[in-house]
Chains A and B, each alone.
Chain A
Amino acid sequence: EVHLVESGGGLVQPGGSLRLSCGDSGLPFSDYWMTWVRQTPGKGLEWVANIKQNGTEKNYVDSVKGRFTISRDNAKNLVYLLMNSLRVDDTAVYYCARGSAVFDSWGQGTLVTVSS
């Protein structure tokens, strides 16, 4: 059974950085693309980034390009989202999800708050 767990969220000032992690305690996820999706009350669900099984292909929404980096460590069953130059409008619950386009398993999410 897939059980995704995110960590690393918290309060950060504008311009700051955070690194989110997502682990799978079930089957190894090296066979799957992995994705980060965020959710805010105002903008709803927003796809952020995804990464191919071997990490050779990555895609980002325009609003985070150049600021966020997705990566993975298949030996540790972990996927990461390094977030730099954070802005107030990056405030959201960040979910990791399994899949490149259709997301059949989701974590519970981690809250990122960007505020001074």
Chain B
Amino acid sequence: DIVMTQSPDSLAVSLGERATINCKSSQTVLYSSNNKDYLAWYQQKPGQPPKLLIYWASTREDGVPDRFSGSGSGTDFTLTISSLQTEDVAVYYCQQYYTTPITFGQGTRLEIK
């Protein structure tokens, strides 16, 4: 199974500042035949299901604010929130869909400093 490891486990950032969450996979999730990274990011607020933010490592889902961006390739990925808003307080998860079983990172809790 591909193990997804996120860092840090928790993060406190001031409003308007940049937040950066890292995700590392135990093996590549880059499919060489199409040059796509099979990596997604989700946001989960308390009492709610996860919400898809980004797929193919850097493609924003419809309706997701452009302050959210994804980057990276192969085994190392980053979710960046360029200017933190109060509504961004949540737990963020990365997920690989390169192979089954599909696996998620352990989550990163983002709070306001």
Interface residues, chain A, with chain B CB atoms under 8 Å away? 44-47, 59, 61-62, 95, 97, 101-104, 106-109
Contacts and interface: CB of A to CB of B under 8 A. Distances in A.
Contact of A95 (B49, B52, B55, B107): B49
B31 to A, nearest CB: 12
Interface in B57-108: 61, 93, 95, 97, 100-107
A11 to B, nearest CB: 21
Contact of A47 (B51, B61, B101): B101
B100 A59 contact: yes
Contacts of A47: 100-104
A100 B55 CA distance: 13
A100 to B, nearest CB: 8
B16 to A, nearest CB: 29
Contact of B102 (A95, A101, A108, A109): A101
Nearest to A59: B100
B50 A103 contact: yes
Contacts of A104: 52, 61
B55 A102 contact: yes
B40 A102 contact: yes
14 contacts: A44-B104, A44-B107, A45-B93, A46-B104, A62-B101, A95-B49, A97-B49, A101-B38, A102-B55, A102-B97, A103-B50, A103-B52, A104-B52, A107-B49
Contact of A45 (B51, B52, B97, B104): B104
